[in-house]
Each structure stands twice: as structure tokens, then as C-alpha cells.
Amino acid sequence: MTYSAASGRYDTMTYNRSGRSGLRIPAISLGLWHNFGGINVYENGRAMVRRAFDLGITHFDLANNYGPPAGSAEESFGQILKQDMLPYRDEMIISTKAGYYMWPGPYGEWGSKKNLIASLDQSLKRMQLDYVDIYYHHRPDPNTPLEETMAALDLVVRQGKALYVGISNYRPEEARKASQILKKLGTPCVIHQPNYSMMSRWIEDGLQDVLDEEGIGSIVFSPLQGGLLTDRYLNGIADDSRAAGPSVFMSRDAINEGLVNKVRQLDELAKSRGQKLSQMALAWVLRGGRVTSALIGASKVSQIEDAMGALSVPAFTDEELKKIDSILS
């Protein structure tokens, strides 16, 4: 059946300007790190992309090594684009990244111009696209001059292969220096992608100030702390949870009674707000307007639908924020 996007797809989503750029990004974005690779059920991934778009989620976040196997998430997404989404390409923000290990030899990772240009060419081929909307350097490279890495990002914009550029996993001073180099080149950094959640707040210690000063937006990954800030662990480790199997997100050893008790208290607070814990966790990272978008992962359509509940309740009161801090202290 031919896909036709929902007519009311822009009615309930909030779109935030990324820093001082003209780019507006949905408050909830969909990441394709896992559950869209070659080992996963293609039709499930396809259904999630379609439903996300129907809900106003216009930003789809990938990287060259997403899968598994590496590269397969981009291939799957390219097929979904071809089958369903090409009529809506100009309504979509598609991003990809390079910097982590992708292929053997000295050019298959990190931040050299050789790596970044080759990586983007490969990503475009896998997704069957002429350009991406955002191209990120995925992690700082301690051995390549930052000027070379940023010059490569500038080059892909000038080549028409990317509209905007960003960085990910950069610490405050690294981010400031990268931003200043890009400004001099004439291709400003529009977005930074760090991890951030109620339980991982390192970006509050300097990075958010740098982003404000430099006019850079932020899209945060792992806002649910690898699934811990959901109802999945309220009664122990479920057999189908991430902690029950091999996962880069969560290990069984990380779940203890003290941590579960804190999660249960947070869940009670979420219920008092009329939300699920996952919805409250997303609303928390978006509070105050310093985060442009919360990047979610999903394994089924219902999780994407649930995420929209982060946007439909009143702002946190001072008492609620203090309660969260006291629970997690």
C-alpha cells in the first residue's frame, strides 16, 4: 500500500531553532542506532519511520557505523526512503556521522579529511541520497589537528553533500575551539550531540554555557539512560529488556536495588504529573529550552507514540525539580 503522510502531522510537535541558525528541529527526534540494522525486521523499522513522521518527527539520526552490521541502518533507511518517504524529502532532516571505526586500515575511523570525505560518500550511496541535512564529526580525534577535521566539514558543505555540520561527544573547550574554527571558515557549527539525562548531567558543567555563547543547538542522546528511566526495571530485569542480554546500553550488573528504588520514586513522581517515567525523563532534558531536541531510540511503534507524551503536560514546578534532585542525590 502506498504511504500517505498524516495531514495533521505538524499539529502537536514543537520545533525548536538550533542555536542561532535558521534550522528548526523537532523536540523529539528518532535515532536509528539499533533496531534498524540488517539483523532486525525491516518492516518494523519501516513502520517506526512512517509513524514517527506522522507524529511530526521530521529528524532521523544515523551514522555510518549504525546497524548492526555497520552500515546496514543507512541501507535500510535508504530503502524506506525509496519506498515511502521520497515525496517528503524536503520535509525531513536526515543526519549522519563519521569518526568511529568503520573499515580496516588507517583511514577507517577518527577525524582525518580522508576518513570524513570517504565516509560521507559511502553514507550517501547507502541511503541513495545526494546530500544529508546534517553531517557530524562523531568524536574528537586526539591525533588529527582540529583544523583538518573542521576543514573537512566545511568542504562537504561547499561540495553540496551536506547543508549543515555538527559535532558529537566534544567536551566544552573542544567544542568552543571547533566552533571558532568553523566560524572562520564560513560554515558555522549548528548543533552538538552529547549524552544527557537525569542521571548523567555532565553537559551542565560548562558545555551548555559554551553552546549558548557560540550559538550552537544541542540534541541529546540516551535521555532515558539506556532504558533505565522507563518502566522496564521497576520490578526487576525483564527477560526481553536490554539488561537481560548483550547490550551496549545497559548491563545486568548495573541494576541494583538502590538504583531500582530511585527509579521507582521517579516513577511515582511521573504518575503524579500524569506521565510515564519515560515521558517525564524526556520532558526533563527539554526543560528550560537549553536542549533543542531529545533523541530517542525505539524498538516498536508504541514507544514513539509514548514519547509524544513528553510534550503535552505543564512545565515542571520548582518543587518537582527539587524532588528529582533529592531522589537522585
Segment 244-271, tens digit of pLDDT: 455 555 555 667 888 999 999 999 999 9
**Burial, 315: exposed, middle or buried (Cβ in 10 Å; 0-12, 13-18, 19+)?**
exposed
Q: What number of other Cβ atoms are within 10 A of residue 172's Cβ?
A: 16
Residue 155 pLDDT: 98
Q: Are 285 and 220 in contact (CB under 8 A)?
A: yes
Q: Are 157 and 164 in contact (CB under 8 A)?
A: yes
How far is it, in rounded angstroms, from Cα 128 to Cα 282?
A: 32
DSSP class of residue 200 equals: B
Residue 232 pLDDT: 87
Residue 233 pLDDT: 84
Q: Are 88 and 5 in contact (CB under 8 A)?
A: yes
Percent of the chain with pLDDT over 70: 94
How far is it, in rounded angstroms, from Cα 38 to Cα 298?
A: 16
How far is it, in rounded angstroms, from Cα 298 to Cα 209?
A: 30
Nearest CA among 307, 276, 226 for reference residue 51: 307
Q: Are 109 and 102 in contact (CB under 8 A)?
A: yes
pTM value is 0.94
| Residues in the chain with pLDDT values less than 50 | 244
Domains of the chain: 15-328 (3.20.20.100)
How far is it, in rounded angstroms, from Cα 49 to Cα 301?
A: 9
* 112 backbone dihedrals φ, ψ, rounded to 5°: -70, 160
